[in-house]
């Protein structure tokens, strides 16, 4: 109980110290908030684009075209084998006659197609995989290519691969940006705590003279860094939420023209908690580094 009261007292003093210098405090919080909002905003945009890609792509499917001369018995055996495959949810057989009729209806060239001497289209299976991830689709397609009587195996949503590659690139860019800005925020807190330590040098010397431990002296600075980081995280959350609100207004106007209901996703509760926890940790870490480097240099005279 005594320890809890001591921590609450230190937290109260930390908040008072922040309020004593409102301009500097507000500036530091804004800097932290803006810096954190950049990678967080990029993360939110990537999640929204990924969600949009999933909506457009629909159910992924693989078209398997059979080699010419494949008999009805082979087709039946292939169908049974596909149905028993662990990675396939369902299949649909499209005979060459049905495919030709669909082509005539969709292209409007029924006279031209009707004048062909023979049907040039092959029999085919449309395969609906159980998993829609790029890795699972690629694995299944590679396996089907090795089966007999398969002339060509085509992933109909192959464009998803390009989108996934772009998203992977974007994720890596966000991670690098977040790492660089994290070091910058640690440096900001480091310098802020360093100035506080130098300003309170005489107070720290007196505290050491009367027997205060390093942990006792270090605690207010750690709380200061943690609180400043947490407030910076809250500022980043507000900046991202406000920006998304403005952007969604414009996106809504645009999507109405295309009869779509797409909108940018806001930060989820787990993402918000992660942002606030990470920002508080960065503030604490910067303060810890600063105190560890400068506190030992101050000794009672």
Higher pLDDT, 137 or 270: 270
Query: What domains does the chain contain, in order, with CATH numbers?
Result: 2-56+162-297 (no CATH), 60-156 (3.30.70.3040)
pLDDT of residue 206: 77
Beta-carbon contacts of 58 under 8 Å, excluding residues fewer than 6 positions away, are 157
pLDDT of residue 113: 55
Mean pLDDT of 193-197: 84
Asked if the model's pLDDT at residue 255 lies above 80, the reply is no
Higher pLDDT, 80 or 51: 80
Higher pLDDT, 212 or 85: 85
Asked if the model's pLDDT at residue 198 lies above 90, the reply is no
Strand partners, 124: 65, 94
pLDDT of residue 168: 83
Q: Which of 31, 161, 90 is nearest to 79 (CA)?
A: 90
Asked if the model's pLDDT at residue 178 lies above 60, the reply is yes
Mean pLDDT of 285-290: 90
Percent of the chain's residues with pLDDT above 70: 78
pLDDT of residue 93: 87
Crossing angle of helices 22-57 and 159-199, in 10° steps, is: 170
pLDDT of residue 277: 94
Asked if the model's pLDDT at residue 153 lies above 90, the reply is no
Q: Count other C-beta atoms under 10 Å from residue 70's C-beta.
A: 16
Mean pLDDT of 251-267: 66
Q: What is the pTM of this model?
A: 0.66
pLDDT of residue 234: 94
pLDDT of residue 301: 54
Burial class (CB in 10 A: 0-12, 13-18, 19+), 47: middle
The per-residue pLDDT for range 56-114, each reduced to its tens digit, is 555 678 888 888 878 888 888 888 888 888 888 888 888 877 776 766 665 555 555 55
């Amino acid at each position: 109980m005594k320890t809890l009261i001591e921590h609450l007292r230190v937290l109260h003093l930390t908040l008072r110290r922040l309020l004593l210098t409102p301009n500097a405090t507000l500036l530091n919080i804004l800097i932290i908030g803006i810096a954190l909002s950049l990678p967080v905003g990029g993360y939110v945009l990537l999640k929204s684009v990924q969600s949009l890609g999933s909506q457009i792509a629909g159910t992924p499917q693989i078209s398997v075209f059979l080699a010419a001369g494949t008999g009805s018995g082979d087709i039946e055996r292939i169908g049974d084998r596909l149905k028993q495959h662990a990675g396939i949810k369902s299949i649909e057989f499209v005979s060459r006659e049905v495919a030709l009729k669909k082509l005539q209806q969709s292209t409007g060239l029924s006279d031209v197609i009707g004048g062909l001497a023979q049907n040039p289209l092959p029999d085919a299976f449309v395969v609906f995989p159980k998993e829609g991830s790029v890795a699972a689709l690629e694995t299944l397609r590679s396996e089907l290519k090795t089966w007999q009587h398969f002339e060509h195996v085509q992933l109909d949503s192959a464009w998803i691969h390009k989108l996934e590659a772009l998203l992977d690139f974007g994720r890596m860019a966000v991670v690098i940006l977040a790492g660089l800005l994290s070091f910058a925020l640690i440096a900001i807190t480091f310098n802020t705590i360093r100035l506080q330590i130098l300003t309170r040098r005489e107070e720290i010397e007196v505290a050491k003279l009367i027997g205060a431990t390093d942990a006792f002296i270090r605690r207010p600075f750690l709380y200061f860094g943690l609180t400043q980081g947490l407030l910076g995280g809250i500022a980043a959350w507000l900046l991202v939420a406000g920006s998304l609100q403005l952007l969604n207004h414009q996106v809504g106007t645009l999507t109405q023209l295309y009869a779509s209901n797409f909108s940018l996703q806001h930060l989820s509760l787990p993402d918000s908690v992660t942002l606030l926890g990470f920002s508080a940790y960065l503030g604490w870490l910067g303060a810890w580094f600063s105190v560890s480097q400068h506190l030992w240099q101050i000794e009672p005279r």
